[in-house]
Amino acid sequence: MKLLRKTLLFIAVLAFGLAFAAKPDFTILHSIDVTEIQPVHHGKQGGAARVATLVKQLDDGNMILTFGGDAFSPSIMSSIFKGKQVVDVFNRIGMDVAVFGNHEFDFGPEVAAQRVKESNFPWLASNLVDKRTGKPLAGALPYVIKEVNGHKIGFIGLVGNWLDITSPGDNAEYLDYVTVARKLATMLKQQKGVEMVVAVTHMDMADDENLAAKVPQVDLILGGHDHRGMFKVVNGTLIYKAKSDWRTVGYLKVFLIPGLKPVVFLQDIPINNKIPADPAMAKVVEGYAKALDKELLIPIGETKVPLDARRMTVRTKESNFGDLIADAMRAHTGADAAIANGGGIRTDSIYGPGKLTRKDILAVLPFGNSVISVKVSGCDLKAAIENGVSLVERVKGRFPQVSGITFTYDPKAKPGKRVVEMKVNGQPLDCNKTYVVAINDYMGHGGDGYSMFKNAPRVISERDADLLANVVIDYIKAHSPVAPQVEGRIKTVK
């Protein structure tokens, strides 16, 4: 016990001394969930040009830039450039290593693979593999070793089990992150001679904590996915997540101590207008912004009423914008009914009354989804609506915005038993009847818990489908001015 106290005291004194010591062995600059290269929050935070300035200020030749996933989507720019603009920016600031996030696959595995090819840095996906080959998906790597200031540092990339909320393709296979991390970290230290293993992750904080608790061979966890800045020490391992869209970045000073866990000092740096914009990077961002505006700012129609795309509306109750989107899907496909998952409706904003542009619709529908239609039984259709309202109290994205369907549900009932009445085109649901339902391809692959659609026969397949945003744009053009009303398609038991 005395020996333990002395050891802990020695580490504490050493750490205190290092805090005021000269140079660290190397530094890390970590960011997460960057889908906006322009400043956010009315220009007050974030922005690639400010980050470029900070990198130049901090980089002494021994700094490693890491990224915790989600770059290719969702954003207005990504609806046009499909993440190419973020890769361009990352290349220019000198990104060193990144892990896949779930939004890397919003446009499918082929686009993800193309973005990886365009990157001047490796993408990691240690536990997300192609089941045909066993290799990481879309051209990623299982690990990478960086040599900095004479030291070998191993990086692994771990993702959460989020395959059902994105589109990685049928060949994607998720592996247990603890098992993979333990295997790779041990190998890197014992066979490759690395002095430190860093896990760059795109998982919930609970998973990061579990990783730290169960795999002590990992010395530092740099996370993503949560969007909120946070840090925690578990089992002696620091876990850090910045804020999304470069609202903050993490600057970490690392001291390597033979025989002991590395000592890491963290500074959470806000990216705001106190940091001047790098002129060269500002010019790059401006070029993308001009190209975007030129294409998107042309009006497509107008609305006579405010269109509600607020998060709390589209994920908990009927929205007139949700009605319009679902109506457009049903009209385009000629289906009996349509369901749009509320989580696919973004921006948390109200539009109009007034003109609507292509930019507005692409902001609301940024994921590049296409509209398909499937054949399902009445029982499966009811199961879909049950799934949609099963997590309404948690404001989950599976909540259904519908067309051709009306239903009443009890939010206090047990999930799976909440729908008390349901009609299709005014007629009571027939469990034995076959219905054609328009959905987006994300739901068609089982996303947001809609597993009943995954193997349903296609009427309009993914191969033949049109983009959802374009379907809605065409619908608005054809029906302008639009004036959708909340009309009682979704009711709750009082």
Q: What is the pLDDT of residues 362-388, one digit of tens each?
A: 989 988 798 999 999 999 999 999 999
Q: What is the pLDDT of residues 290-341, one digit of tens each?
A: 999 888 888 999 999 999 999 999 999 999 999 999 999 999 999 999 999 9
Distance CA 486, CA 3 (A): 70
Q: In the CATH hierarchy, which fold is given to the domain comprising 297-492?
A: 5'-nucleotidase;  domain 2 (3.90.780)
Q: What is the pLDDT of residues 254-280, one digit of tens each?
A: 999 998 999 999 999 999 999 999 999
Quote the pTM value: 0.73
Can you give the residue ranges of every domain in the chain? 22-290, 297-492
Taking a C-beta distance cutoff of 8 angstroms, is the pair 467, 458 a contact?
no
Mean pLDDT of 235-247: 96
Is 297-492 in the same CATH topology as 22-290? no
The CATH number fitting domain 22-290, selected from 1.10.3720.10, 3.80.10.10, 3.60.21.10, 3.40.50.2300: 3.60.21.10
296 vs 46: which has the higher pLDDT: 46
Mean pLDDT of 169-185: 97
